[in-house]
Amino acid sequence: MIVAAYFWQIEKKKIPFALSRMALNRRAVRTFPGVTFSKLLGCGTGERFTPSDADPLRWGLLVAIDENQIETFDNSGFISQWRKNSHSEFRALLSPISSHGQWSKREPFPVSTKSGDGAIVAITRARISFFGNFRFWKAVPPVTTSLHNSPGLISAIGIGEAPIGLQGTFSLWESAQALRDFAYKGAAHTQVIADTKKYQWYSEELFARFAVLELRGTL
């Protein structure tokens, strides 16, 4: 099993297409041969994780799939439709190194790689309790400032399944060490970890790391 992450940039006039595909592609992706987990994603800046962060010109798709099916999937009708209606595409093929927590009450990324020597992708995702949103929003800005200023970060974007309550990040790093330095040495991030335990603002959370097998395009 490998994980494929797609992100597309579209023009403003293509927003109706994107909104319709988010609804209509769901079942087609989920039932595609070899797919064991899938999420259609909205994207954003990830600065505050509020609705104002949403970027209607960027959309994404995340799938865990049998590696023998990835090329067929990459040439499927719904991927071709996104390509036709976007002006840029980024695709990452990933192998899970570690995954802790759940996404939609599932553990979606069975670990298949012991370590990664090169670039690393991190995916974080959380379902935030309603009353936890307000405290969480106040805590986020120092963390995102620290993230975007972190040595070794190549790129990071916000991802989500809904405007409020389902939040996440997709980040690409030069190395596993750079990611660890941000996660465990940065004061802002370690404070949020401590506050998470204290305030219990997540009703579900997941943190996963992946070795990068292949990158195509620019995030």
pTM: 0.85
Of 118, 78, 76, the closest CA to residue 97 belongs to 118
Distances (CA, A) of 181 to 24, 170, 184: 40, 17, 6
Which two structure tokens, joined as six digits, stand for 185? 């040495």
| Predicted pLDDT at 109 | 95
| Predicted pLDDT at 219 | 86
CATH number for 2-216 (one of 3.10.129.10, 3.30.70.100, 3.30.160.60, 3.20.20.30): it is 3.30.70.100
| Predicted pLDDT at 216 | 96
Low-confidence ranges of the chain (pLDDT < 70): 45-52, 113-116, 128-149, 162-166, 185-203
Q: CB neighbours of 39 closer than 8 A, spacing ≥ 6?
A: 61, 62, 63, 103, 161
Distance of alpha carbon 163 from alpha carbon 170, whole angstroms: 16
